Amino acid sequence: MSISREEVAKVALLARLQLSDDELDTMTEQLSRIVGYVEQLSEPDTDQVEPMAHAMDIANVFAPDEVRPSLDRAEALASAPHHDGQCYRVPAVLGEA
Amino acid sequence: MSAISLTATQQLERLESGQLASVELTQAYLDRIKEVDGQVGAFLRVDAEAALATAAKIDEQRASGKPLGRLAGLPVSVKDVLCMHGEMTTCGSKILENFRSPYDATAIARLKAADAVLIGRTNMDEFAMGGSTENSAFHCTHNPWNLDCSPGGSSGGAAACVAASMAPLSVGTDTGGSIRQPAAFCGVTGMKPTYGRVSRYGLVAFASSLDQVGPLARTAADAALLLEVLAGHDPNDSTSADVPVPRYAETIAKPLQGLRIGLAGEHFSEGLSAETESALREAVRVFESLGGKVHDISLPHSKYGIATYYIIAPSEASSNLARYDGVHYGYRTDEQQLIAELSAERKQLTEADDPHTLDRLDTTLVRMYRKTRSEGFGPEVKRRIMLGTYALSAGYYDAYYLKALKVRRLIHNDFVEAFKQVDVILGPTSPVPAFKLGEKLQDPLSMYLVDLYTVSANLAGIPGISIPCGQSPEGLPIGLQLQAPAFEEERLLRASHMFQQATDWHQKVPEIS
């Protein structure tokens, strides 16, 4: 099966990627080939098969409900590209920048 | 004889008996790095000063009779995907070029507690996505056996650094073969432990249900030593297993009596290179001469491994890598330029009287995310994010992701059946020895197919080890893979040690020229 260029452009928006025209062409061709290969998954009968999301059969691992120190704010902010010492800064979200 | 030609186990004995100082050993490795890493490119960063300071401290403590950790004084290199407090962790990506971790990964904390000398960070495919280390945003790594060839990947720096005697022990990670395949390509021993055996806390996530930290070393005995330190339950990783960790390094020399070895027809079919097959057949004879009994088994769903893996891993990756948004850490696109670009587009669309497209124009924040990620990620990472986003998107979820999870169960069940008859499964690690750098870069699917024999262990969560078992006519190493049921790392290490006692492939070292 092949994926259309429009579909690839839509997925790029969902994935928060911006692809150039060239990248869109290459990506369309490459994703189509990979998805074509993956089509073989339709061969085995899996009607009665339980999906396996995880290799370990564990669920609901609880930690004791106790107060512990969290990451220091200055350290948490230290690698941010833009911050004001208290919060992360981003471009204006509302209205025009 | 230089200390760096000894195994880690031998070095540790000499360190403990006072015949060798950690400063001397560390300096010998730093000299070796200076001598050959310009050609190999195994390291992203070497921390000579800190390594020598740690080594000096350990020598001092040893001299004063203080109790020391399990690896005291041994240099260890670490793949650049595990967080180390205050240090850079780039994952081979431009997007994390300026990131310094605010805490230690559990694997790092355990190495520090064991008094290992952390000598430097090894190169890798960006975010561990790739099988050649060519996807590193910084530089590519060369195979020490032939500098025109790839060391494999994604832990290519780790494998190359052990092969070229730039560290006795190295920590890698394996999501679909990223420890075992480079170990095979570089002629070293590398193990992916059982899922949950080693904590993933502080391991930068690629595919959370598949990622596992593991050791690379020259011998199985050395890998046992390192695994003993890395393994164990960690409350900070809710998927880490609360299962006792054997003293691998102590039981390693105990031979396994009447080892039942499974050979799967699926491992010896189309696509396996002739030189790999003949090396494997010879290895089987070695095991038989040691008392092993061969049984034919079948893993009928293993042929779907790659297709299953390349849905599940990218799906998990597309979700995990959403965190690189240019807000919390790492790279952000130039904001002035971004705002100028958007206003120009807005003006153009207004003038063209195209309200429909204007309406769909990215907001400043969305464009900031998109530009940041597009400038920060390399092509393979973008490809996997796209593939995963596609597989999880409305209308395709059932056909791809859910279906892949079901086939994953079938692959897992094949192993459950096989291990009713055999103790270990022996097969190839990779269908071919190391390929040339650049050979598969234009064809992502052909690169993915190299993972054919390794992805199943990740999907099923079982341990696998790759050990050297031969050489191609061109002198490139060939690796064999042993797989065992979950939490049977000890069995893999002992079986590998038996083999290494009877063969000398693991002792061969490359001439770097």
> How much of chain B exceeds pLDDT 70, in percent?
100
Question: Hey, is the C-beta of B20 within 8 angstroms of any chain A C-beta?
Answer: no
A chain contacts of residue B94, beta-carbon cutoff 8 Å: none
pLDDT (tens digit per residue) in B203-213: 999 999 999 99
Cis, bond preceding B238 (omega within 30 deg of 0): no
Q: Are B190 and B465 in contact (CB under 8 A)?
A: yes
Show which of residues 377-436 on chain B sit within 8 Å of chain A, judged by CB atoms: 377, 382-383, 385-387, 389-390, 393, 399-400, 402-410, 412
Tell whether B327 lies on the interface with A, counting CB pairs under 8 A. yes
Q: Are B243 and B486 in contact (CB under 8 A)?
A: no
SS3 percent helix, strand, coil of chain B, rounded to 5, is: 45, 15, 40
CA distance A82 to chain B (A): 7
Ordered domains of chain A (ranges, CATH): 5-42 (1.10.20)
C-alpha B430/C-alpha B480 separation (Å) is 8
Chain A: closest CA distance from residue B445 (Å): 6
Per-residue pLDDT averaged across B111-136, rounded?
Answer: 98
Cβ-defined contact of B329 to A80 (cutoff 8 Å): yes
Q: Which of B351-365, B464-478, B479-493 has the lowest mean pLDDT?
A: B351-365
DSSP per-residue string spanning B479-509: EEEEE-STT-HHHHHHHHHHHHHH--GGG--
Yes or no, beta carbons of A91 and B339 under 8 Å apart: yes
**Spatial separation of the C-alpha atoms in residues B225 and B111, rounded to whole Å:** 11
Helices (H), B134-240: 156-163, 180-186, 220-230
Q: Which of B22, B77, B79, B170 is catalytic?
A: B79
Separation in Å, CA B362 to CA A25, B191, B463, B504: 21, 46, 46, 61
B390, B243 contact by CB (below 8 A): no
Give a three-class secondary structure readout of B111-125. Answer: HHHCCCEEEEEECCC
CB contact under 8 A, A71 and B102: yes
Inter-chain residue contact A56 with B460, CB threshold 8 Å? no
In tens, the pLDDT along B421-479 reads 999 999 999 999 999 999 999 899 999 999 999 999 999 999 999 999 999 999 999 99
Average pLDDT over residues A11-36: 96
Cα dihedral B491→B495→B498→B502 (10° resolution):
-170
Give the neighbor-by-neighbor strand order of the sheet with B189-192. B43-46, B117-122, B75-79, B169-174, B212-217, B189-192, B464-471, B477-483, B424-428, B260-264, B293-297
Residues of A within 8 A of B374 (CB-CB) are: 17-19
Size of interface A-B (CB pairs under 8 A): 170
Asked if the model's pLDDT at residue B513 lies above 80, the reply is no
Catalytic one of B155, B178, B302, B496: B178
Per CB-CB distance under 8 Å, the chain A contacts of B195 are 55-56
Residue whose structure tokens are 């300026």: B98
Helices of type H across B43-130: 48-63, 106-113
CA distance to partner chain A, nearest, from residue B409 (Å): 5
Going by pLDDT thresholds of 50, 70 and 90, the confidence category of residue B1 is: low
Q: Do B367 and A18 touch (CB under 8 A)?
A: yes
**Residue (of B140, B29, B142) closest to B513 by Cα position:** B142
- Distance between CA atoms of B96 and A78, rounded to whole angstroms? 13
Cβ–Cβ < 8 Å for B200, B111: no
State the architecture of B11-265+421-507 in CATH terms.
Alpha-Beta Complex (3.90)
pLDDT reported for residue A1: 64
A75 vs B402: CB contact, 8 Å cut-off? no
Over range B331-340, report the average pLDDT. Answer: 95
CA distance A17 to A12: 5
Mean pLDDT of chain A, nearest integer: 92
Q: What is the pLDDT of residues B253-311, one digit of tens each?
A: 999 999 999 999 999 988 899 999 999 999 999 999 999 999 999 999 999 999 999 99
Residue B12 has pLDDT above 60, yes or no: yes
**Distance in Å, alpha carbon of A7 to nearest chain B alpha carbon:** 9
Q: How far is A34 from chain B (nearest CA, A)?
A: 6
Facing residue for B405 by CB, picked from A27, A53, A97: A53
Nearest Cα residue to B82 out of B68, B94, B99, B95: B99
The confidence band for A59, taking pLDDT boundaries of 50, 70 and 90, is confident
Q: Model confidence over B21-72: pLDDT tens digits?
A: 999 999 999 999 999 999 999 999 999 999 999 999 999 999 999 999 999 9
pLDDT averaged over chain B?
97
pLDDT of residue A97: 44
First and final CA of chain A: distance in angstroms? Answer: 43
Would you call B322 and A92 a contact, using CB atoms and an 8 Å cutoff?
no
As a whole number of angstroms, the distance between CA B329 and CA B101 comes to 10
Nearest one of B312, B387, B129 to A3, comparing CA atoms: B387
Give per-residue pLDDT as tens, B164-201: 999 999 999 999 999 999 999 999 999 999 999 999 99
Q: Is the pLDDT of residue A62 over 90?
A: no
Q: Which of residues 150-209 of B touch A (CB under 8 A)?
A: 195-196, 209
Pick B393's closest partner by Cβ from A11, A56, A88. A11
**Among A11, A17, A43, whose Cβ lies nearest the Cβ of B374?**
A17
pLDDT of residue A57: 79
Return the pLDDT at B299.
97
Which tokens sit at B34?
């200076």
Q: Which residues of A touch B338 (CB under 8 A)?
A: 91
Answer yes or no: B79 catalytic: yes
Query: Are residues B87 and B338 in contact, defined by beta-carbon separation less than 8 angstroms?
Result: no
Give me the percent of chain B exceeding a pLDDT of 90.
97
Nearest to B412 among A35, A40, A52 (CB): A52
Q: Where are the domains of chain B?
A: 11-265+421-507
Q: Residues B157-164: what's their mean pLDDT?
A: 98
Spatial distance between the Cα atoms of B126 and B387, rounded to a whole number of angstroms: 16
Residue among A19, A51, A78 minimizing CB distance to B406: A51
> Could you tell me the CA-to-CA distances from B72 to B22, B75, B93, B213, B335 in Å, in that order?
8, 9, 32, 21, 48
Cα B144–Cα B146–Cα B148 angle in degrees, nearest 5 = 115
Q: List the one residue out of B149, B148, B176, B143 whose CA is nearest residue B161.
A: B143
